[in-house]
Amino acid sequence: MTAQAQAKPPADLPNLAGAFEMFVQASQALEQQYAQLQEKVEQLDADLIRANERLRVVLDALPAAVLVIENQTISHFNAAAKELFPDWVSGQAWRIPASWQLGTGPDEYMIPLEDGTVQTWQVKRADTAGRSVVQIQDITANLQTLEASERTDRLAAMGQMSAGIAHQIRTPLATAMLYAAHLSAPQLAEADRIEFATKLQNRLIHLEKMASEMLQFIKGRPQKTTSVPVLDLIAECCLTIDGLLHAKQQQIEQHIDVADARVRVDRPSVVSAVVAILENAIQISPAGARISLEVRRHPEAITVRITDQGPGIAPDMLDCLFEPFATNRSQGTGLGLAIALNAIRAHRGDIQARNLSTGGAEFTITLPQDLNAADMP
């Protein structure tokens, strides 16, 4: 073999050289792209720092205390939170302090102070992926203003009611006095005495009920509330009106879909309100009718829809249906629906009534859900 043959380069050397050149070019392109990417990352970091600074300025300007919670620990809080809770530090576990007592409204807590007074704070929580934002705000003054306004409204309503009260009391009182006069007659037969005594007792019971309902009407916000499963509340309402249903040979068709939803209420007053609507539906529906009871869960509220098979609400009654003594029935005090609305609104709820095109009337009660029971640690 000659020396020239031995020095001859391999046949695939040009291919290797080309591949190496391509590798160098690709490496340079990657380095350039990496440099551009690094520049973008640095720009994004700078933008994020500026955004966080702007967010901090905005949060510090808020009058409400704001906490950012990550993995159940405090990662950030604004100036208002630092002033309100000077002992709290970033990194500590977040939980509602044991001294905070659940208030009467949604997201409300009663905070006892060292001077013996009690403040009401509202605690709102918004959850995102792996992070929660908690807003804490003192709403004591707002509630005091609201309660003063509600008290003024109730006093004004009582003023408007005064003429109706006099009329409503005068008739049964005059009848009771008449029965009492008959009972004092010396020659009254025993059978007549028993009859007049029974009638007198019924009139006095009616007057006592009216007085009790008037006191219920002027009540303000409930002083003590508890978290109640909606299913338990509805079950108690149905049990309460069971006797009246049997007396009229009626049935309730229940359509309930609330799972484990809860409401924070003064249980007796809300049960009484729902029962008042149910009794109204039963009384105006014919014997053998079916009363529809539909209970649904919504993101922040519970609705109770009651539909009767009565003649519907008279057009002249629609606008004043929930006013005291607004009734066209000979029986009753005319305060039941007014008291029901007052009780539900005291819990930040409402009652709406309408006639259905298919006949009958529909009453819808709305109450806020007790989301604290599930959301707050």
CATH of the domain at 370: 3.30.565.10
**Does residue 217 sit within a domain?**
no
Helix 140-183 and helix 190-217, axial crossing angle in degrees, nearest 10: 170
17 and 133 assigned to the same domain: no
C-beta of residue 335 within 8 angstroms of C-beta of residue 325 = yes
**Does residue 11 sit within a domain?**
yes
**Domain membership of residue 45 as a residue range:** 3-59
115 and 252 assigned to the same domain: no
What mean pLDDT is predicted for residues 246-262?
91
Q: How far is CA 131 from its chain centroid?
A: 25
**Does residue 182 sit within a domain?**
no
> Sorting pLDDT into bands at 50, 70 and 90, what band is 377?
very low
Least Cα distance to 309 among 321, 283, 295, 291 occurs for 291
Whose tokens are 């029986």? That residue is: 331
pLDDT tens readout for residues 113-160: 778 788 888 888 887 777 888 888 888 888 888 777 777 776 676 666
**Does residue 323 sit within a domain?**
yes
Identify which has the larger pLDDT, 291 or 23: 291
127 and 244 assigned to the same domain: no
308 and 358 assigned to the same domain: yes
48 and 67 assigned to the same domain: no
260 and 375 assigned to the same domain: yes
CATH number of residue 109's parent domain: 3.30.450
**Does residue 283 sit within a domain?**
yes
Query: Which pLDDT does position 305 carry in this prediction?
Result: 96
What mean pLDDT is predicted for residues 237-249?
90
97 and 132 assigned to the same domain: yes
Tokens of 233: 């509340």
* AA letter at 373: A
Of 240-254, 309-323, 342-356, 362-376, where does mean pLDDT reach its minimum?
Answer: 362-376
For residue 355, pLDDT over 70 is answered with: yes
Tokens of 11: 């046949």
Least Cα distance to 134 among 59, 30, 33 occurs for 59
Element (H, E) at 340: helix 336-345
Of 2-11, 125-134, 301-310, where does mean pLDDT reach its minimum?
Answer: 2-11
Query: Which pLDDT does position 251 carry in this prediction?
Result: 92
Helix 267-284 and helix 230-240, axial crossing angle in degrees, nearest 10: 50
Query: Which pLDDT does position 36 carry in this prediction?
Result: 85
72 and 31 assigned to the same domain: no
The total of structural domains in the chain comes to 3
Alpha helix positions (H), 97-241: 140-183, 190-217, 230-240
Query: Which pLDDT does position 291 carry in this prediction?
Result: 94
Least Cα distance to 142 among 67, 68, 221, 81 occurs for 221
**Does residue 53 sit within a domain?**
yes
pLDDT tens readout for residues 65-74: 888 888 888 8
**Does residue 258 sit within a domain?**
yes
pLDDT tens readout for residues 191-203: 877 887 887 777 7
94 and 25 assigned to the same domain: no
37 and 72 assigned to the same domain: no
Query: Which pLDDT does position 160 carry in this prediction?
Result: 60
55 and 89 assigned to the same domain: no
What percent of the chain is modeled with pLDDT above 70? 78
Task: Give the residue from 59, 79, 94 where a domain finishes.
Answer: 59
Euclidean distance between CA atoms 104 and 221, whole angstroms: 8
**Does residue 260 sit within a domain?**
yes
Task: Give the residue from 32, 59, 86 where a domain finishes.
Answer: 59
7 and 34 assigned to the same domain: yes
Task: Give the residue from 80, 110, 138 where a domain finishes.
Answer: 138
